Structure 1
Amino acid sequence: MELSLGTLPRGRRDTRPGRLSPWVALALVVAIGVNVRAIFGVTPPLIPVISEDLGMNATTASLLTSLSVLAMAAGAPLGHALASRVGADRAMISLFAVLGLAELSRLVIGTAVPLVVTAGLIGVFLGAISTLAPAFISHHLPRLRGLGTGVYSTSMALGVALAAGTAQPITDRAGWRFTLSLWGVGALLLVAALVVLSLRGLGIPRTTGPRERLALPLREGRAWFVTVVYSVPMFLGFGVIAWLPTLFVDHGIDPTTAAVYLVCFQLVQFLSILTLAPLTDRIRGRRGVFATAMVASTVGTLMLTWEPHDWALPGALLAGFGIGGASTLALVKVQDEATSPQDATRLSSMCMLFSFTAGGAAPFLMGALKDATGSLVPGFGVCAAVSVLSLPLLIRMRPAGQPRWGDTPK
């Protein structure tokens, strides 16, 4: 069974634009990472006030996060398709432009339906942009790809933390509509910077020649293994981040403190990203680093389920450390299993499709359980159960193989 991903150019480059200096490229990588994840930080702290203002139940409110994530899965092929037609530079500029406009439109929204629709549109654009970011890093940072990828991952976590930490103070002064739409300004400022660089010839060169069709490796066991490994932290991450502030508020923690705990949940991910992932460059074994992340997320989600008030902060810290680490390690595992750059594209595309679907299902499922039971505890119990059931994956967690596609053993 094969599922087409569209086409990838196969041929020579028709131009050879200059590259950005490493510092400028890294600054843009930070800006891209912050913009593609900020929406997932700014929305959760505002769900109580938005729900009260627009009269939404928990299931409908969950769509503000879950629909965006599901739409990211649907929008992922759009990035490759658009880049193959107009080039990666124009594709990224166009996508950030419509993303900014979609976010700005929330300033005038007065009912639940258009707000949910914009959540879906924003998700499509984010999914498409996510597929273009690796090409940006590879072109402008050819000798610093590992650093660029680490900075990109860290910037995404930073975007969530920054948006979550500023959401409540800005809302107290200007309202939730202004808070949601504010990030559209950031996207349009990034568009302006990318346009200037493109006009100066500092962009990713387009390719010419015949195009090679790629298909998802749906019949390969290794592909399903890495997909499950990647889907678990996505399910946990998007589910927890969507409802963590509401869980705390429901159990007597004031909204400002709940938002601070959400920021802590994100900030601790920096620690796991910057400690566990670099270890994989030195240690071929994978069970130890994965076990550290997976056990931490399991204990953290169990604490949030069992005692969401008294164990709020330690539970959030452990869950954040584990989920952040597992997400980054899953990307490393994709590289472990890939046999070529093209194979890495196939594997990562399959992982993205199914993991974003899992990530989008989590907030919706937890919201539906809240409506059915009157509490978020059962939803967090599902997260804890998923984390526990993922532990047997460690049995098949093989060490990294010999260096692939061009690298030489050291």
Structure 2
Amino acid sequence: MAAIGPLVEAIRYDVSLSFTQLSLLTTLPVLAMGLGCFVSALLAKRIGFNSVITLALASIALSDALHWFGFGYTGLWAAALGAGIGIAFIQAALPAVIKQAAGEKTPMVMGFYIASIMGGAALASAITPVVSDYIGWQSALALWGLLALAGLVCWVMRRRILPAPSQNNSVSIAFSAMARQPRFWSLAIFFGLGTAGYTCLLAWIPPTFINLGWSQTQAGLALSWLTAIEVMAGLTFPILAQQMKDRRPVLLLVLLLSVAGFLLLGLMPKTMAWLATALLGLGIGGLFPLSLIITMDHSDDPVLSGQLAAWVQGIGYLIASLAPIAAGLIKDLLGGFEQAWLMLGVIFIGLIVMSLRFDQSKAPQQLHFS
């Protein structure tokens, strides 16, 4: 997903796509991630968390390999969907594994987990445009499947050391029961709108700067700069939140940083590019793990906590999947991305208001199941 942005012009030249069509290459994985979270929850009941993650890594590797065969726009779609489903399975299953293994240190470990995701995005956005100059954009995208294979080997080895949580002694809640909880929808909408900011940055930061006259490589480095800061934020803010009885001050800080970044990117993209992306890296980098941490605060049971996180992500990713295509439409209609960044700034002001409700000490009492 992060590799697509720096290759926008090369892909458009070879496949003849509009920015709206290109946005689907980010929208489809996020949409698949949303739907896949629900499927993952059902699969975990049947085959267990370990097998779900194994299947997911295989799906990502095979989907990336499709780029080697050059199927044009159809192949791009298929690869995006397959990788999105694989990512969904992992992101729905791993929080339960982390909660089981880490216990009270869950926020810190979640920070490492999310920082690793964003670190991968930083590598992809920096390396892919350089590699594509030598082997073409199709092969440059396909090469990332080799990392999925490496991840698969590591995961199979890990299974013998750290068992996944068992569902035998845990409470299992149907989605219909969860959907009747107002707090569930608050968490899902909060996660979805926050992730919308992340997916838009992933998809449209490089094209934004290319539109301002930057080279493809420079635009890729801008995304790498942003995601490198996200990695540091993803490690720092969850550790800070773990040491506090109330996570809301940390949550407010990352949201304020995000609002400032979006406003600068929308109003002064040429003069404030590096400052805006730095602020967004700090804000979005901290918000992503914190959104999952405040979700998992609502239950001490690893499986129930994992179910809640999976469904929050499922609804959230469906919401977030609309953001890149909306930004692509704005670009096609108005000729720039500035309006989209300003719109996200307003949305994040709304998230500030929502965040005031997430009192950690009262979180377990907000979900009621009969």
User: Would the aligned equivalents of 1:160 and 1:266 in 2 still touch at CA under 8 Å?
Assistant: yes
CA separation in 2, counterparts of 1:242 and 1:80? 28
TM-score, with normalisation over the residues of structure 2?
A: 0.89
Structure 1 pair 194–333 and aligned structure 2 pair: CA distance change class (3 A): closer
Query: Counterpart in 2 of 1:298?
Result: 259
CA separation in 2, counterparts of 1:127 and 1:147? 22
CA separation in 1, counterparts of 2:128 and 2:304? 40
Q: 1:163: Cα distance to partner?
A: 0.9
Structure 1 pair 340–202 and aligned structure 2 pair: CA distance change class (3 A): closer
Q: 1:136: Cα distance to partner?
A: 3.7
Q: 1:306: Cα distance to partner?
A: 0.8
CA separation in 1, counterparts of 2:186 and 2:363? 19
Aligned residue identity for 2:189: V
Query: Counterpart in 2 of 1:248?
Result: 209
Aligned residue identity for 1:239: C
Q: 1:319: Cα distance to partner?
A: 1.2
User: Would the aligned equivalents of 2:99 and 2:302 in 1 still touch at CA under 8 Å?
Assistant: no
Query: Counterpart in 2 of 1:356?
Result: 317
Query: Counterpart in 1 of 2:190?
Result: 229
Query: Counterpart in 2 of 1:191?
Result: 152
User: Would the aligned equivalents of 1:245 and 1:258 in 2 still touch at CA under 8 Å?
Assistant: yes
User: In the alignment, does 2:98 pair up with 1:123?
Assistant: no
- Measured against aligned partners, the alpha-carbon deviations of 1:222-263 in whole angstroms (never above 9, x if no partner) come to 222222322222011101221000000101222222111111
Q: 1:197: Cα distance to partner?
A: 5.4
Aligned residue identity for 2:138: R
Count how many residue pairs are aligned between Structure 1 and Structure 2.
Answer: 364
User: In the alignment, does 2:175 pair up with 1:215?
Assistant: yes
User: Would the aligned equivalents of 1:45 and 1:164 in 2 still touch at CA under 8 Å?
Assistant: yes
Structure 1 pair 281–182 and aligned structure 2 pair: CA distance change class (3 A): same
Which deviates more, 208-217 or 333-342?
A: 208-217
Structure 1 pair 219–212 and aligned structure 2 pair: CA distance change class (3 A): closer
Aligned residue identity for 2:24: L
Query: Counterpart in 2 of 1:330?
Result: 291
Structure 1 pair 93–282 and aligned structure 2 pair: CA distance change class (3 A): closer
Q: 1:345: Cα distance to partner?
A: 3.5
Alignment of 1:5-404 (within 5 A): 40-138=1-99, 145-196=106-157, 203-204=163-164, 212-216=172-176, 217-338=178-299, 340-341=301-302, 343-401=304-362
Alpha carbon RMSD of aligned pairs, Å? Answer: 2.6
CA separation in 2, counterparts of 1:361 and 1:191? 30
Q: 1:352: Cα distance to partner?
A: 0.6
Structure 1 pair 179–401 and aligned structure 2 pair: CA distance change class (3 A): same
Gaps of 5+ in 1: 1-39, 405-410
CA separation in 2, counterparts of 1:84 and 1:224? 23
CA separation in 2, counterparts of 1:147 and 1:294? 19
Q: 1:210: Cα distance to partner?
A: 11
SS in 2 for 1:253: coil
Q: 1:100: Cα distance to partner?
A: 0.6
CA separation in 2, counterparts of 1:168 and 1:197? 33
Structure 1 pair 85–363 and aligned structure 2 pair: CA distance change class (3 A): same
CA separation in 2, counterparts of 1:212 and 1:203? 19
- Measured against aligned partners, the alpha-carbon deviations of 1:298-345 in whole angstroms (never above 9, x if no partner) come to 010011111212111111111121111122222222133336445533
Aligned residue identity for 1:378: Q
Q: 1:220: Cα distance to partner?
A: 2.2
Structure 1 pair 135–255 and aligned structure 2 pair: CA distance change class (3 A): same
Query: Counterpart in 2 of 1:17?
Result: none
CA separation in 1, counterparts of 2:128 and 2:108? 30
Give the percent of matched residue pairs that are identical in Structure 1 and Structure 2: 25
CA separation in 2, counterparts of 1:310 and 1:210? 54
Which deviates more, 202-211 or 112-121?
A: 202-211
User: Would the aligned equivalents of 1:286 and 1:400 in 2 still touch at CA under 8 Å?
Assistant: no
User: Would the aligned equivalents of 1:270 and 1:324 in 2 still touch at CA under 8 Å?
Assistant: yes
Structure 1 pair 334–402 and aligned structure 2 pair: CA distance change class (3 A): closer
